[in-house]
Amino acid sequence: MQSPLDELQNKLNDEIDGKRYSVSWPWPQLDAVQAFLPGTLTMLCARPGRGKSLFCLQFIWAAYVRGDLCASYFLEDGVAYHLRRALAQKSGNRDILDM
């Protein structure tokens, strides 16, 4: 088992080496929020239909395009549902959601 000082030293070394970093937002006005540090859990909460899933899909796509490794786990519906939403976003055709 690592001592707390050794654990801190390892994390600091990983940050210095660029192995540990906060994924930046694609929207500059949110850059002060470092919600995506490795080992953290970030929750986005709001009432149904407020755009949480679309917001997350947009963020994940931007991070992926930038070259960040990313993954998500959406708790609503299934994979096909979210792939359809991603397709609607990327194609600019919102009618895809009405099929």
pLDDT at 77: 82
Q: How far apart are the C-alpha atoms of 35 and 37, rounded to whole Å?
A: 6
Segment 4-30, tens digit of pLDDT = 999 889 888 888 888 877 777 888 888
Q: Residue 67 above 80 pLDDT?
A: yes
pLDDT band at 63; cut points 50, 70, 90: confident
What gap in Å lies between CA 17 and CA 64, rounded to an integer? Answer: 21
pLDDT, one tens digit per residue, over 78-95 is: 888 888 888 888 888 888
98 to 12, 53, 74, 85: CA distances (angstroms) = 49, 17, 20, 10
Cβ-based neighbours of 68, under 8 Å, separated by 6 or more: 23
How far apart (Å, rounded) are the C-alpha atoms in residues 63 and 66?
A: 5
